Amino acid sequence: MSEQIADRDETMAAPPRPMRFTDQGGAEVRPAGLLQNRFVWAAAVCVLGIILYVWYSGVRAREAAAKAAAAAAHRSVPVSATAAKQGDLNLYVSAIGTVTAFNTVTVKSRVDGQIVKILFKEGQMVHQGDVLIQIDPRPYQVQLTEAEGQMARDKANLVNAQVLLDRDQQLFAQNIIAKQDLDNQRASVGTYAGTVKNDQGLIDSAKLNLTYSTITSPINGRIGLRLVDIGNIVHATDTTGLVVITQLQPIAVDFSIPEDDLPRVTNAMKNLAEASGSAVMVSTGGELPGASAAAATHNGLPVEAYDRDFKTKLAMGFLLTTDNQIDQTTGTIKLKAQFPNNDSTLFPNQFVNVRLLVDTQREATLIPTAAIQRSSQGSFVYVVQQDQTVAMRPVKVANTQGEITSVASGVQPGELVVVDGTDKLRTGSRVAVQLAANPTTPGATQ
């Protein structure tokens, strides 16, 4: 009895053993539900770990962004800025033009003969009347001698016929000769007089041929490459010339502008004509609005010629005239400008960029065009404030001409506007300013 009680106590004190299941062969078999529970718990732990990792990474990223924003707020952005100025803005109409000569002459021979002298060098500047080529004059000198000899003979015959006519008139008055004889002698005098006049024409023709045998320049200009050599035989009927001379001073530039710009040009021409006709403007030496001295003298709008890159000014001239009709196929009208070209910068058939001054905006606030920024709300600029931060300032653009823009509102003269480095700026950004070169504007003041 005591042994049974001891076994019972030992059984109750021992922990319960898990139930084991065996198959018919005695192998242990685990329940399927137990395995599934373990997989679910493992997956839950993994998901929880991923969630914790993502949350922790987000916290770290937000902390890094906050630190970067704080550092950026205290770091200065390097920018280039320039001060707005007050001055006059010239407004132009731009076009592509072609340099053309007012006169181009192909020099040809007017007589037949052999070239014995060439008195010019290729590319030489010549003046009207300079001797260029000498054709052998001897054949024409011989013709002149023959014509002069024939004229001397015919003059002698004329004098003799006149003496006979005087005598016959006396004999006829005495009724010694018939009227028919007097008339015949009078006709002889007329015939010899006509012969003498014809001889004078032959003499003049020979002298003219002698003059033509010395070929001179008909205009002032530059000689091109010569087309003949010494010893060549030339004829008056030759289609090929001897040399080409082109006038370079003054020279013209032809260009076309859209028909929409024609009213601006005509109004500017009218205003300039009225201003140049004012006695006060001329007598006191006052300067016409935007006009050069040459333009004021010739009553033409100032025109500037630039190179292909539109960077180097080649020459200054004035508008000479406009065409009398608009080209319907292109919707443009042709204009011609004149340039003194004293330094021979412009060359015939050269392509140039042309700027025609049509108006001048007075006392405008001027800033570089590079400072203008645009958004869906309109145009704006970044203005540097006294605390070395920038403020985004909306502006109203009045006119733009190349690198310079006039603004009607938003900026005051003297304020610094950012022209480079705007892509990294926001309102309130701290900046390190480096003054940039300001495009030069005649008459602009800070």
Q: Are residues 176 and 80 in the same domain?
A: no
Helical packing angle, 138-173 and 179-212, nearest 10°: 160
pLDDT band at 285 (very low <50, low <70, confident <90, very high): very low
Mean pLDDT confidence for 230-253: 94
Q: Are residues 221 and 258 in the same domain?
A: no
Q: What is the pLDDT of residue 283?
A: 32
Q: Are residues 38 and 157 in the same domain?
A: no
The answer to whether residue 443 sits within a structural domain is no
Q: Are residues 180 and 240 in the same domain?
A: yes
Residue bearing the bigger pLDDT, 363 or 72:
363
Domain CATH code at residue 319: 2.40.30.170
Mean per-residue pLDDT over the chain, rounded: 84
Element (H, E) at 307: none
Q: Are residues 236 and 256 in the same domain?
A: no
Residue 411: burial class (beta carbons within 10 Å; 0-12, 13-18, 19+): buried
**Pairing state between β 431-435 and 77-83:** parallel
Mean pLDDT confidence for 85-109: 94
Q: Are residues 266 and 289 in the same domain?
A: yes
Mean pLDDT confidence for 43-67: 75
Domain CATH code at residue 390: 2.40.420.20
Q: What is the pLDDT of residue 200?
A: 95
Mean pLDDT confidence for 403-426: 90
Q: Are residues 207 and 185 in the same domain?
A: yes
Q: Are residues 290 and 262 in the same domain?
A: yes
Count of domains for the chain = 4
- The DSSP call for residue 131 is E
Residue 286 has pLDDT above 50, yes or no: no
Residue 281 has pLDDT above 80, yes or no: no
192 neighbors 161 (Cβ within 8 angstroms):
yes
Alpha-carbon distance of 217 to 355, in angstroms, equals: 35
Q: Are residues 329 and 258 in the same domain?
A: yes
Element (H, E) at 342: none
The answer to whether residue 440 sits within a structural domain is no
Q: Are residues 275 and 336 in the same domain?
A: yes
> Which residue, 167, 170, 162, is CA-closest to 186?
162
Tell me the residue range of the domain where 225 lies. 106-246
pLDDT band at 40 (very low <50, low <70, confident <90, very high): confident
The answer to whether residue 315 sits within a structural domain is yes
Q: Are residues 338 and 394 in the same domain?
A: no
Q: What is the pLDDT of residues 365-379, one digit of tens each?
A: 999 999 999 988 899
Q: What is the pLDDT of residue 291?
A: 40
Q: What is the pLDDT of residue 294?
A: 43
Q: What is the pLDDT of residues 196-212, one digit of tens each?
A: 999 999 999 999 999 99
Residue 213 has pLDDT above 60, yes or no: yes
The answer to whether residue 237 sits within a structural domain is yes
The answer to whether residue 236 sits within a structural domain is yes
Residue bearing the bigger pLDDT, 18 or 99:
99
Q: Specify the pTM.
A: 0.67
Q: Are residues 355 and 369 in the same domain?
A: no
> Which residue, 263, 146, 139, is CA-closest to 202?
146
* Domain closes at, from 227, 246, 265: 246
Q: What is the pLDDT of residue 435?
A: 83
Residue 392: burial class (beta carbons within 10 Å; 0-12, 13-18, 19+): middle
Q: What is the pLDDT of residue 64?
A: 72
Q: Which of 1-5, 75-79, 334-338, 340-344 has the lowest mean pLDDT?
A: 1-5
pLDDT band at 68 (very low <50, low <70, confident <90, very high): low
The answer to whether residue 445 sits within a structural domain is no
Residue 282 has pLDDT above 60, yes or no: no
The answer to whether residue 441 sits within a structural domain is no
Q: What is the pLDDT of residues 176-188, one digit of tens each?
A: 889 998 899 899 9
pLDDT band at 7 (very low <50, low <70, confident <90, very high): low
Q: What is the pLDDT of residue 1?
A: 47
Q: Which of 42-51, 269-278, 349-358 has the highest mean pLDDT?
A: 349-358
Tokens 């480096």, residue? 434
* Domain closes at, from 217, 246, 275: 246
* Domain closes at, from 246, 273, 308: 246
